[in-house]
Amino acid sequence: MRFNGSNVTTGPRTMKTLLADTPWSRRLAAGIDRIAILCGWWLIVLSVATCVEMLGRKLGGFSLQGIDEIGGYTYAILGACGFAYTLVGRGHTRVDFLLTRFPVKVRAVLNLLAMLSLAAVAGLCLWRAGHVLVDTIDLHSTASTPLATPLWMPQTLWLAGYALFALVAACAAWHALQLLVRRDWARLNSQFGPQTLAEEIEAEADIRVAAAPAEGNGAGQGSAEGKSEGAAA
């Protein structure tokens, strides 16, 4: 993953990012990308272990103790880390059926409020996860399973995932606020608004989608419609 202006490049694909184009942001995005790759490899290892567990129970009469427990920890930790990775690539779902009907400046303010709200939610998740970890350490809690895992171990990684999410959300919110102060409405809406259909296609596949013709270009639209009708005929 690397930055290209306000974009972030993952392999052959380029997509917009919420982070500002600074050396620190580039290092943060690269670190998040490495974490995502590490999580993917760990999921592969866990999947193989789960298959061995299932085959062992059915055919070999043995069981790998604790695979389900480790799986639960894995999904909690990877989910927290995934929030940050998804946020960098603008992958979180936005409900925008009314947003496009507002003027440009109003859309910019709403996009900023959306980013500030997400940063507040990330901070709340981090705060509550911190309380859970502190209680676990105070009570010396362990899992009531054959592994008897000290719960502070997976919860520390879980908290780190939320800390990463809160950090990315705070950086993105600060960047959005800077764009608003500079009255850069177009860039604020472009970076922090919902993804267009073309951007979603480019993010999911190595396809560059041509930009749609500008509004008011009636001649071009009419020509395109005529060609489409001729092709359909």
Per-domain boundaries in the chain: 2-213
Q: The pTM is what? A: 0.74
pLDDT of residue 83: 93
CB 76 within 8 A of CB 46: no
Question: What's the token pair of residue 152?
Answer: 């502070």
pLDDT of residue 188: 83
User: Along the chain (233 residues), what's the average pLDDT of each consecutive run of 10 residues?
Assistant: 46 59 84 92 92 85 82 92 88 74 84 91 95 94 87 94 94 90 84 69 56 45 44 42
- Residue 227 CB burial class (10 angstroms; 0-12, 13-18, ≥19): exposed
Tell me how far apart the alpha carbons of residues 144 and 66 are, in angstroms, rounded to a whole number: 11
Looking at this protein, which amino acid is placed at residue 190?
Answer: S
